[in-house]
Amino acid sequence: MPLFYQQTIDRHTKIGIWKIEESERFFLETVPLQSEITHAHKRMQHLAGRYLLRYLFPGFPYELIRIADTLKPFLENEEYHFSISHCGDFAAAIVSRDKRVGIDIEIISERVRTVKDKFINPIEAGIIGRFSTGRNDLAKFTMLWSCKEAMFKWYGKGQLDFRNHMQLQAIYADEVKNCIHTDFLFSKEKARLLKLQTVFLDKFTLSWLVTEP
């Protein structure tokens, strides 16, 4: 069973990563394909992400998933809040019965250097530069990108300026939990402080946030 990573946040909230090694038929035996996806690998990512929802919470109602105009999947009755992310052969998901959530998984690659000025402002660059984790700038840039993507999915309404609406305030390592904590000022609509966690796994980062509804 290729469950790559799992964490229980609390009794109502769980996270998982699935390494995709099965055939498409394996997923289709359980998961309905709700949209026409012609690209074979993207279809596998789609199916694996939804399969993971019910793996984490066996009663998760696939058939009730709807897609917002912003492409965010959701349940109208909000029986569960959830977020899904994919990269390469991995699908990640976070599911909660009572809290809003967002998650993102990113492969650490040189690509992030070419786009970093689109999501990192000068103040954040200084904070990241001073933060020592034993990891190189590429990994730290990817972590910041992953955090902002997780917030984008948590927000779910689109139209976010990654440099200005989500600004890094603080960052510190948690040696007990083996993760990185980050605080962001989220200023779209109304200002609030969002707290995220990131773990480095193999060659990618996983970031998530959990808030009250």
Residues 77 and 115 in one domain: no
CA distances from 110 to 15, 63, 122, 131 (A): 27, 38, 20, 20
Q: Which domain holds residue 198?
A: 105-211
pLDDT for position 38: 85
CA distances from 191 to 122, 153, 185 (A): 20, 17, 7
Helix (H) or strand (E) run with residue 154 in it: helix 137-155
The residue out of 53, 72, 98 marking a domain boundary is 98
pLDDT for position 132: 81
Number of domains in the chain: 2
Q: What is the CATH number of the domain that holds 13?
A: 3.90.470.20
Residues of the chain with pLDDT under 50: none
